[in-house]
Structure 1
């Protein structure tokens, strides 16, 4: 849907449904402009700072209206044109820097080391300095967003400084090269590719798990591994799991992966997350001072991966631009700023735990929530549990249906939609939802 048409429909719906006072609609919404940043990110440009403050009070209403029109959850932010242009200029400068230094910024010097990644960092430094040693191949594994790619790029950049010849590829890039050579059906093409790869001192391959079940590519890959190993040249691989847990590879490949050193990058611990947050704040050039307790709160609640931390700091940057330079960002600021962001440290939170918390509120058993009874208390408990499974655990409607007695996904969507409408229309119900959400995520 075109952005202009989408905005017209939202303004019309807000006017007709009267969820927002008509004076506010006419004064601040009709005069605003919608910008589409991506399929799931929108910015509403408002004429004044007062308008931004007022419309932020109705943020959930806007998210609901976008969802009904686009059939998906989206991010909505409010800004004045002046503030938005300042941010755009900062992002433009940052983009230019990234273009001029694509991966060179990923080094050992700016890799934040803590107990969760210390072992992997030491191993990476060792192979960068002493290629082809006993740590060959070096196999680094761990969940997405914990710094595996940073370490692989750091190895590459350190090796290049030592005048070593390095080939760094993602598994997708490697697969394309091999498939293109094989499809040509020319043995010379295949030999040329082998020679091109084998001429390097380092072969670094990111996300090897995506080579699963690619038999022809893996046959080629196995020959490359043998050549590098026999010639004392360094292999470095990353994956989202240990070699033993990789599926779709034959035993000899798993044996090769295990023949060097396998080392994990574990989930971020709070001290390491705190160091990364402080580093990102400094790197982004946030003008305002951020108090210690605010940084600790972010580390305690949103420390599941580095990418998320960078996103959080970007939001702090946006917040900082909208405030005076003398404003000190404190705990109260960050709690309010991230109140709608689910905490990363949800422990053993699952659908059953959500049902227990909501069921306790309505004095309803788990059996009743999964059953077919439709009293008001049971229906509210069931629908709220489905709603929280969506917004907190980010489960799909099909997953949620399976977890609630095998219900159809359309039933789930209807239940979630009912809860959303009640939130917007009934203030007391909204308070109940906020209270339950805070209890569930441990705030």
Structure 2
């Protein structure tokens, strides 16, 4: 993990959000509508309407064009040191029920290509479980399926997500392309009302335990867990052995997830397009950071994700003013709010540290001038850098007649080109930008 995160999201790459590339989505064969559940606006809808073969071809072309070596070179030239990659559960294809879930195939191959390019550029990676089995929030493109009935918060779908965690932890340690991965995020933006997310706190604990159990099986010391049984010459057998570990945290769901992950890992490692060496030890490697949305993300007696920690853990907060509810829709209110933000301190008091801001941008609820956007960018960077750092949404947005001015406020690369964001991400144009707006210590 960098001493300070200066990052961007690779949004709309492996989890496509069609609002970010409206013309490209139409060109792929998708549709546009005001309510995303009523037309072909997501992966799920595309696959259901077009069929698997057509979906695979369209998405393979998209993956190759939306994020390429040219983009890696640009990010490196701009000093970006971290990339957060939104991923769908369907990246692990063995978890998909093809009878009812319509998602593209081949995403893992694309991810291997991308993380390897980032590794070669010296850019580190957070693997973000952005779209969960069953869908974790209603009517959101970022879940891969716009539906009014999220079904993630069930034992069966928790188990699929835990299995995903075991698979991705193993790949991150054993596949050489993934050596720049330093964190895995459990859930992007779950429902904020804990009354609608039964047993979510238990899921958080199980997620961490699956990660740490997997790492223990791969030869990495995990403080707080007992010594592992003698290692097997095959990682999948070692993970199965660990699933039998006598420890209070290894409940039935953890054990089942580890065993399921071992079977899937065997299939992935022996597939020529995704292969890696299962006899390799991860001994000497560092534990990955388990990553959760912070304690404030649920507003009804939330489980504190700090309670799940076993080894290094990081916390993620997202802050968008454009959707309302943060500050009145005018420049002074925005600046007063951001310049007095105390989320880093408040989270630290609850054990949610280090905290980084994994999504933010420049969009506003009013017509912002260029001068305001430059100051708005500076003020946000100063606020978020009080924690572990920041990750802008998004690295780029389509530039087209149909997209209009989207890229002006949503694209990091365009923000630099327009002079709103400094070319050196560690710098700001005006370090005193908040001085007129400070209202408290």
The structure number with the bigger radius of gyration is 1
TM-score over 0.5 for the pair: no
Relative contact order, higher structure (CA 8 A, sep 6+): 2
TM-score of Structure 1 vs Structure 2, range by shorter chain? under 0.3
Which structure is higher in helix share?
1
Q: TM-score, normalised by structure 1?
A: 0.27
Q: TM-score, normalised by structure 2?
A: 0.27
